Structure formats: C-alpha cells, structure tokens
Structure 1
Amino acid sequence: MLIHLMQHGACLSKELDPHQPLSPVGREQVMKSARAARALGLRFELVVASPKVRSLQTAEIMAEHTGYPLPRIEVTDAVKAMAPVRTTLHFIMDYEGLDSIFIAGHLPSLGLLASEILTGGPNLDIAIENSGLMQINWNIATGQSGLNWSLTPAQLAEMKG
C-alpha cells in the first residue's frame, strides 16, 4: 500500500479565526502541491482528513486535483494531531488491500506515524512541512516498508502540473 502523508497547509491564527481554516498562503501552498501530485500521476483509493477545517480543506484540494470524489473523503479522529499512533495504524490496516491512500493530517502525529511504519517505533525524527508530501510503501501483511520519497512544498511548487 502506498501511503501519502501531508501536513495541512498553513492556517489562520486562532485570534483571526478560532476554527483555523487555511490561510490564503496555505491554500496556495496546497494548490501547488496538488498540481504536483497530479503531474506525478498520483491517484488515491482513499482520502482521509481529520475533523479540523484546515485538514479537510487540504484533503478537498488534493482530491479535486487528483480525481477523487469529494463526498467520499473519510473524516476521522484517527488522524487528529494528538491521535495515538496505534489508533492511526489500526485505521489504516482496516483498508488493507487498497493500493494508495492519502492522509491530510497534523504534527506531531504524521511524523510519529511515518517513524512507526518505517522503523517500528518513534526512532526517527520526521518533519513534514505544511503542504509537503511523503510517500511510504507499506506491506501490512509482512510489515516491510520503505520511504519512496519526501518532497517539500518548495520542491512540489517547482513541478509543472
């Protein structure tokens, strides 16, 4: 299974909006990353977001650019910022058999999730920038995994899509 992890785009401060939606800069970041995802030919069988507005907005933009139906976006607490890694892993394992999923999530949980899949624990300090995108290949049955690539928002913005 290919797992694509993206931290939501930059958001407004709580003082400006307590729901912290994507800021104009964050929306533009995600749009550039989504165009790059389309240029890479990425297609997802499942798109997942946390209940936070900024995560859902990020997932919607990625879905629109990659041909995923917006009504099928799965919103779950399993990818919230402080969700236990085991909760997120079990959520993903429920979809074993899919080829490709996308998760619009938060720090620190995305970094901890990537480390757990790649090393079996919190052994790696993995940072994912706002609108950065990482692809991990994980064979759930065997436990084998590998990092295919990790692209920063700046790298994604350079790609023409």
Structure 2
Amino acid sequence: MLELYLLRHGIAAEREEYSEDALRPLTGEGKRKTKQVAQQLFDLGLRFDLILTSPLVRARQTADILKAIGLSSQLEESTYLTPEGNIYSWLSWLEEWQNKGGNNLALVGHEPNLGEWTEILVWGEAKGNLLVKKAGVIGVKIPETGSPVGRSLLFWLTPPKFLL
C-alpha cells in the first residue's frame, strides 16, 4: 500500500496584510513550528519519495522546510493542491505516479481540501468533519490497485502540538 501524508502549511500571515491570498508567507512562528514538526517526522523515520506542494507561498515554504530537514530530496509544485484543486483530477496523477514505483508521498496543501480529500479517500464522500490544524499531519494508506475512493485507511491524524 502507498503511504500518503497530507500536511497543512504552517501558520501564515493574515489575509488582510496581502492583496492576494496566494502571496501570504509563513510567519516567524509558522516557520519555527513547521521546522519542529518536520524534525519530529524525520526523527520518527518518515521519508517521502516526493513532496508535492501547492504553489501558494505558504505551502511552498512549508514544503521547502520539509525538504531541507531531509524528508525528501524530490519536491514538485502542483495546481491540484491549490484551494481550488480537485481530488478527482489529482487521482489520475496519483495512479501514474504509483505505476512509476512511488510508495511514500507527502502532499502540502490547505484546508478544507486536505480534510475533505481524506474523507473522500477513506469514506467515499466529504462530510466536512476532519480538520487539519496548521502544520498538522494526516496519514492515509492507499490501496495498490483500483480506485482509492472509499477504500483507503486512515492511520494517522496528528495536530502539531503532539509533534512539537
């Protein structure tokens, strides 16, 4: 089974401070806490074949921190992970990536997408009941064959306070 880790970006600047939401960076506290979470994940032995991130500044900065800590040497941006992203479009990408031998994948993105995507993968539909805190982590095991929708296994839901 593929291990998929969904990570929400760290604490970012307030919306009012930026003319475009996509430009909001991590705050100093956001960078610090994200580094601590990344270090804990590294210390727990997590490694990713690829970190796939939203191109929005706060998500990309979070992904850069994960890479710098050593969680993966591979990082790519994907519009699938923007707030407007669609899981069903992303699933085609995932199938191709799995066929190339990928086993451990990290997605860095936004709420409510990450919680909803997890619900779709595990229960087959989004109910809006899973919340991923900033710098929080969800782990989902994806079946090797067939559609993962409603067939995946939630094995990890951790708010950042348990990793600091």
TM-score higher than 0.5: yes
Alignment partner, residue 44 of structure 2 = 40
Alignment partner, residue 3 of structure 1 = 4
Measure the CA separation in 2 of the matches of 1:147 and 1:14.
31
Alignment partner, residue 27 of structure 2 = 23
Alignment partner, residue 111 of structure 2 = 107
Task: Select which of 121, 129, 133 maps to 2:133.
Answer: 129
Which ranges in structure 1 are unaligned for 5 or more consecutive residues?
A: none
2:111 partner SS: coil
1:109/1:67 Cα in 2 relative to 1: closer, same or farther (>3 Å)? closer
- Runs of 4 or more off by more than 6 Å in structure 1? none
Equivalent positions of 1:41-80 (< 5 A) are 41-69=45-73, 72-80=74-82
Measure the CA separation in 2 of the matches of 1:126 and 1:2.
19
Alignment partner, residue 85 of structure 2 = 83
Q: Is the 8 A contact 1:89 1:113 kept in 2?
A: no
Q: Deviations over 1:18-62 (max 9, x none)?
A: 410001111112111101111110000011111101111101111
Residue 67 of structure 1 deviates from its aligned partner by 4.2
Which ranges in structure 2 are unaligned for 5 or more consecutive residues?
A: none
Alignment partner, residue 155 of structure 1 = 162
The alignment covers a number of residue pairs equal to 155
How many percent identity over aligned positions? 24
Measure the CA separation in 2 of the matches of 1:4 and 1:67.
12
TM-score normalised by L of structure 1: 0.89
2:65 partner SS: helix
TM-score normalised by L of structure 2: 0.87
Q: Deviations over 1:94-131 (max 9, x none)?
A: 21131100011001111111011101111461110000
Residue 85 of structure 1 deviates from its aligned partner by 2.1
